[in-house]
Structure 1
Amino acid sequence: MTLRSLLLVFAGGSIGTAARLGVALWIPDAGGFPVATLAVNVLGALLIGILAARLPQTTGLRVFLGTGVLGGFTTYSAFMTGAVELWADAPLLAFVYAAASLVLGLAAAAAGLRLGRPRPPARLDGAAAA
């Protein structure tokens, strides 16, 4: 860990956590269901997937965007807290929230990795690439 990497994570994390707060203020919980947390975690998983497919792990931009911005934007602790709080009043809803977070997060990360992969160059002869 270098001082540069630490500063990149610090700066990015500040942006990401501010963005998460903005989403939480913009999208209120629905009947105790943490909609904003689910939204930021699924969107974050998609974006982290794209980033992982596009940028080498050792670049400063990936440290800033991935570990910093998107690490600050997504939140495992709020996900767990939301699930536990829901469990007290609505165990079935808590299960749905936890399962949806897991399934949608995995699907979003997989989609991000797929979307982020470089495409092979188009063929000029009109033949379909195999």
Structure 2
Amino acid sequence: MESISLYILVFVGGGIGSALRLGANQVSLRLLGPDWPGGTLFVNLVGCFLMGLCAGWFAFRGGGTESQSVRLLITTGIIGGFTTFSAFALDTATLWQRDNGIASAAYVIISVAGSILAAFIGLSVFRGTTP
């Protein structure tokens, strides 16, 4: 029975994350227009930072058996529903197909390097605060 409840937690968290992603995309569309995939870039960078924070928290501060449920809700559910690397791939291809190779390459470099850097920063927040 516990296995089913974990799936429900991830399901609910994924819905929350997806709704947050939709909001971020709508705000980005209003602010930046349709020619730059700013919403996807934002959620990828923020999502990777949050994943790093959570990984650091659970590795250095979290504990106990109840943390497994919370970890799955937050990381697999909410953050998994929030980040959008499949959309990243489509946005990159779309920029490229519009004959905008420079924007496509810039988008890939900023997304990949920025996301990895954000995850390292998130992890480092808790490295210095471990007991």
**TM-score w.r.t. length of structure 2:** 0.85
Query: Partner letter of residue 69 of structure 1?
Result: I
- The corresponding residue for 1:10 is 11
Measured in 2, the distance between the counterparts of 1:54 and 1:120 equals 9
**TM-score w.r.t. length of structure 1:** 0.86
Measured in 1, the distance between the counterparts of 2:87 and 2:19 equals 15
Count of matched residue positions in the alignment of Structure 1 and Structure 2: 121
1:37 to 37, 40, 52: 40
Shift of 1:91: 1.0
Q: Which has the higher helix share?
A: 2
Measured in 1, the distance between the counterparts of 2:105 and 2:123 equals 27
- The corresponding residue for 2:110 is 100
Query: Partner letter of residue 53 of structure 1?
Result: G
Counterpart check, 1:60 vs 2:61: no
Regions of 4+ moved over 4 Å? none
For structure 1, the residue ranges without an aligned partner over 5 or more in a row are 122-130
Residues 20 and 31 of structure 1, relative CA distance in 2, 3 Å threshold: closer
- The corresponding residue for 1:73 is 82
Query: Partner letter of residue 106 of structure 2?
Result: V
Secondary structure, aligned partner of 2:94 = helix
- The corresponding residue for 1:115 is 125
- Measured on the aligned residues, the alpha-carbon RMSD in Å equals 1.9
Measured in 2, the distance between the counterparts of 1:31 and 1:25 equals 10
Residues 60 and 118 of structure 1, relative CA distance in 2, 3 Å threshold: farther
For structure 2, the residue ranges without an aligned partner over 5 or more in a row are none
CA contact (8 A) 1:54 1:118 kept: no
Shift of 1:114: 0.4
Percent of aligned positions that are identical: 34
Secondary structure, aligned partner of 2:72 = helix
Q: Deviations for 1:51-99, whole angstroms, at most 9, x for unmatched residues?
A: 0111159611110000000000001110000000000120110010011
Secondary structure, aligned partner of 1:27 = helix
